[in-house]
Amino acid sequence: MEGAKHEQVFWQILRVLRRRMDVDFTAYKPMTLKRRIERRMVLQQIDSEAEYLVYLHNHQAEVEALYQDMLIGVTSFFRDPSTFQTLGREILPRLVATKAAGSPIRVWVPGCSTGEEVYSPAICLLEFLAEDSLTVPPIQLFGTDLNPRAIESARAGLYPPDALGVFSPARLDHFFLSVNGCYQIRQAVRERCVFAQHNLLKDPPFSRLDLLSCQNVLIYLEPMAQRKVIQTFHYALSPHGVLLLGPSETIGTSTDLFAHAEEHKRQLYVKKATSAWPLVVGDVRRSPEEQYQTQVRRKMGWLMKRRIGSLISRRRQIVCWPVLPRPVSSLTRRWKSSTFVETRTPT
């Protein structure tokens, strides 16, 4: 797509998706989205973007097909096996050692597609605990994705044989059950994994996590949205928490929030203790700092009006002495923990 007209049609297509599917794709890299639109146009044998826009207006099934294409659900078990080796050999022993007896190991996999990226660390954890004959502590894995169809498949945990080439026959037999020519993850693993639809750019995150694995999602996002997501991950992890990104992804400029966990495995990061910006759930196209400042300004304005209003009603005159009950710094600190920090977890 080239030229102002094409650009305009592109944004109109995104608007159709927002209205009909309730998803805002403006935080995603336009080049990838444009390639997906072109692919759909070829499949529908439509030559011009303007014509495709009209087609979208009149065919809800095509809106849904484009939405599915744009989310790109490509995934597999143990993508990048060497990272999982490092996870099993070096990271998990350290994580498990930090846990108090009986406290659960919590893992979140946002953008988990059809579940393989959730079942992989689940298997890795169970193998590690069995190898060291450790008592299995409570394990909770949360898999979330924007795509409800992917979440349905993830819950079923049913995979065709060609998706399971990475497993030896013994491992396959240990973790899967043969069902009508497919393989289903055994109940012992499935019962530790909870799946839910969740928009990483909009919905409140999980919290108190030991491991957060989010591979091949950030690459599709614009830098500002990537930064917001990394900030969300920092908030969601426990002090000792570990972040796992995809091989082509990094924490970008957020070096104040994370450090490499292992010199030889650049996708694994540990959370840094820092007084980061508090989490603001909202517009991913504005930086966390901007959003935070705007909300502080709004809150200050509201508080001043309320204080002046109550003085007027009590004394029936305008009193122009300092209206702030406390120094600004202590106010902002209080707001950080009450108004702006979202601590709910999705169910």
Binding residues for ligand SAM, rule: CB under 6 A, are 71-75, 79, 110-113, 117, 145-147, 150, 198-201, 215-217, 246
Q: How far is the CB of 54 from ligand SAM (least distance, A)?
A: 27
Q: How far is the CB of 28 from ligand SAM (least distance, A)?
A: 7
Nearer to ligand SAM by Cβ, of 201 and 236: the residue is 201
CA–CA dist 321, 307 (Å, integer): 11
Q: Which helix (H) or strand (E) holds 196?
A: strand 193-197
Structural contact between residues 145 and 151, judged by C-beta atoms closer than 8 angstroms? yes
Nearer to ligand SAM by Cβ, of 92 and 225: the residue is 225
Q: How far is the CB of 340 from ligand SAM (least distance, A)?
A: 21
Q: How far is the CB of 284 from ligand SAM (least distance, A)?
A: 9
Q: How far is the CB of 216 from ligand SAM (least distance, A)?
A: 4
Nearer to ligand SAM by Cβ, of 197 and 332: the residue is 197
Q: How far is the CB of 171 from ligand SAM (least distance, A)?
A: 19
**Mapping DSSP to helix (H, G, I), strand (E, B) and coil, where does residue 239 land?**
strand
Q: How far is CA 15 from the centre of its chain?
A: 22
Cβ neighbours of 302 (radius 10 Å): 10
Nearer to ligand SAM by Cβ, of 112 and 335: the residue is 112
Q: How far is the CB of 53 from ligand SAM (least distance, A)?
A: 22
- Position 225, amino acid: A
Pairing of strands 105-110, 139-145: parallel
Chain length of the chain: 347
Nearest residue to 338 via CA among 296, 293, 283, 302: 296
Nearest residue to 295 via CA among 309, 276, 280: 280
Nearer to ligand SAM by Cβ, of 110 and 278: the residue is 110
Nearer to ligand SAM by Cβ, of 7 and 24: the residue is 24
- Position 304, amino acid: M
CA–CA dist 46, 41 (Å, integer): 5
Name the CA dihedral angle for 277, 282, 283, 287, rounded to a multiple of 10 degrees: 0
Q: How far is the CB of 175 from ligand SAM (least distance, A)?
A: 18
Nearer to ligand SAM by Cβ, of 28 and 335: the residue is 28
CA–CA dist 199, 225 (Å, integer): 12
Q: Which token pair is 196? A: 């839910």
Nearer to ligand SAM by Cβ, of 69 and 311: the residue is 69
Structural contact between residues 193 and 122, judged by C-beta atoms closer than 8 angstroms? yes
